[in-house]
Amino acid sequence: MRLLIACLLTAALGLGCGSYAWLNAPLKLKAASIDLSVEPGSNPREVALQVQQAGVAINPGVLYWWFRLSGQARLIKAGSYELEQGATPRSLLSTLVRGEEALRSVTLVEGWNLRQLREALKKAEQLRPLTAELTPEELMQQLGKPGLAAEGRFFPDTYTYAKGSTDLALLQRAARAMDKKLEAAWAQRAPQSPLQSPEQALVLASIVEKETGRSSDRSLIAAVFSNRLRIGMRLQTDPSVIYGLGPLFDGNLRRADLLADTAWNTYTRNGLPPTPIAMPGRAALLAAVQPAESNALYFVARGDGSSQFSASLDEHNRAVNKYQRKQP
């Protein structure tokens, strides 16, 4: 009897040691790293099979029983995961239970236009392109915003996403973020602001974003354009003209371009252009609705990223001679 008990204890000890060793032994992967997709609604047995099919040399039945005996089988989360060399059955389950998906990221830069945004999405790693062939109008239909211009409608930020996510899902997040930021900015608009709607604020913010070379000048640049709008003076902003030229712009803005009338030519047309010209960030949105207290109507680049502001044309012409023409 004692011999039988001793044998059973030895067997149990051996099984326990073997199980411990198995749980902490590195899994054999078919590559340095493999992608594992756990489909929504998968039960533990199906998850174990998906692990094997992803490229892990393991008996799915044994892995399934490990999931069951751990007491955490029902906590496994669907998602896209990345397994690397050194992963063990224990760490695998921990990853699946915590939902530690393999995430990628893409950064949408302040001042980018829609074309630049879409190029970035095309190059984004592991992001499925559902919108690449859509026109801007079709894209906005997909986003539930028919009739709105796509330009400037997405908030510039760094967005993380799981492998296999779609560009449409990411753009939905960016559009919602812009809606929230614009709403928050509009709620803080100054009483003297000439802007009549959040849409106008978005348009002006996009111009401020493109015109700002140094962040400390942003609210003053917004003040110049707000002052011009208030007195009915044309905005005369080069970035809007360049936007209106589209692919015709070769990097050199000529006098003829300033005279070529388009909906975005603020030298030939009064008021704001019909759409934003780029994606404004939060600071530009706030500057558009809270411009600095200034009577400036003009500004010119100093050449170091900052601008010189003037309240009169004579003063402005002197600044142009000094900073642009290098006249004493």
- Mean pLDDT, range 206-215, rounded to an integer: 96
pTM: 0.78
Positions of E strands within the chain: 33-38, 79-84, 103-107, 158-162, 298-301, 307-310
Token pair belonging to 286: 């706030």
- Mean pLDDT, range 126-155, rounded to an integer: 96
User: Measured in Å, how far apart are the chain's first and last C-alpha atoms?
Assistant: 110
pLDDT at 33 (0 to 100) = 84
pLDDT at 11 (0 to 100) = 40
CATH of range 2-98; options 3.30.1490.480, 3.30.1380.10, 3.40.50.2300, 3.20.20.140:
3.30.1490.480
Q: Residue ranges per domain, the chain?
A: 2-98, 103-183, 190-323
Please tell me the distance from the alpha carbon of residue 266 to that of residue 119, in angstroms, as a whole number.
27
Is pLDDT above 50 for 5? Answer: no
pLDDT at 82 (0 to 100) = 84
Q: What separation in angstroms does the CA of 180 have from each of 3, 154, 173?
A: 74, 11, 11
Is pLDDT above 90 for 9? Answer: no
One-letter amino acid for residue 60 of the chain: P
C-alpha closest to that of 182 among 308, 285, 300: 285
pLDDT digits (tens, 9 = 90+) for 235-255: 999 999 999 999 989 989 999
